[in-house]
């Protein structure tokens, strides 16, 4: 498939896909005329990339990780890196929970007094 197809299937912009390639996250073959061609597997690859981005990993970190995923093997260094990221995510989850609860407190504190009298 071509880049536009992959873009619509993953809901990721064409620009972003080219960026992923530039960062070494996503490979493509080229047609004779130079257009990018992707396998169906690219859809899942892009989804994985998005997930890792969503978890706060940088392109550089993801680029270091993906070879492990592909080879299904990790070096001690990359395992350490993976574990460090996991821990960071756990910390972030904990912080988010605190923030969410804090936000709920605010919502409650500002709503409770007199619900029918909230103009101010």
Partner DNA sequence: TTAAAACCTCACGTTGATGTCAGAGGCAAG
Partner DNA sequence: CTTGCCTCTGACATCAACGTGAGGTTTTAA
Position among 8, 13, 35, 90 found at the interface with a second copy (CB under 8 A) = 90
Position among 31, 44, 58, 110 found at the interface with a second copy (CB under 8 A) = 110
What's the CA dihedral at 80, 87, 10, 72 to 10 degrees? 30
Where are the strands (E) in 9-118, listed by range? 29-30, 36-37
Q: Kindly state whether residue 19 participates in binding DNA, applying the rule CB under 7 A.
A: yes
Q: Which is nearer to a second copy, 41 or 120 (CB)?
A: 120
Measured distance CA(22)–CA(109) in Å, rounded:
49
Subset of 47-86 contacting DNA (CB under 7 A): 53, 58-60
Measured distance CA(107)–CA(102) in Å, rounded:
9
CB of 105 to DNA, least distance (A): 21
CB atoms within 10 A of CB 42: 22
Q: Residues interacting with DNA, by CB under 7 A?
A: 2-5, 7, 12-16, 18-19, 23, 31-36, 53, 58-60
């Amino acid at each position: 498939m071509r880049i536009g197809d992959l873009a619509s299937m993953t809901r990721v912009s064409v620009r972003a896909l080219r960026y992923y390639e530039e960062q070494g996250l996503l490979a493509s073959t080229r047609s004779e005329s130079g257009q990018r061609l992707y396998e169906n597997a690219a859809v899942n690859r892009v989804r994985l990339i998005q997930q890792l981005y969503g978890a706060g990993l940088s392109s550089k970190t993801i680029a270091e990780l993906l070879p492990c995923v592909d080879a299904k093997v990790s070096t001690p260094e990359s395992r350490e890196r993976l574990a460090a990221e996991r821990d960071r995510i756990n910390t972030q989850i904990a912080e988010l929970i605190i923030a969410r609860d804090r936000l709920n407190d605010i919502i409650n504190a500002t709503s409770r007094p007199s619900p029918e009298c909230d103009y101010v």
